[in-house]
Amino acid sequence: MVCTKQGLIDFKFSAVPGGLSVEVPWWSANVLRTRLRAKGIRATACFDPMTHTASLELDRNADLDIVRALLDGVMDRSRAG
């Protein structure tokens, strides 16, 4: 997904067994997972400490319109601290 507003992140979706995976900023993975859960979408946050990357694995039944709307609202900023 390419966001049209300046400063937003380009999210990369890929197929995984049982659903989809989307790369997210390391600093926001748990927050995004919690927000998705609040909207009824189950997601698992996965972290790779070697590359300092994160992704969310989503159920195949996830409402992608809700997922995209939530991700489009995430500002690209540096992790504080």
Per-residue model confidence (pLDDT) at position 9: 55
pTM of the predicted model as reported, rounded to 2 decimal places? 0.71
Give the dihedral sign, CA 64/50/26/76: negative
35-57 as b/e: b if 16+ CB within 10 A = bbeeeebebebbeeeeeeebbbb
Task: Name which residue leads in pLDDT, 44 or 74.
Answer: 44
For residue range 18-65, list pLDDT tens digits in order. 888 999 888 889 999 999 999 899 999 999 999 988 999 998 888 888
Amino acid residing at 27? W
Task: Parse the chain into domains and list their residue ranges.
Answer: 13-72
pLDDT band at residue 12 using 50, 70 and 90 as cut-offs:
confident
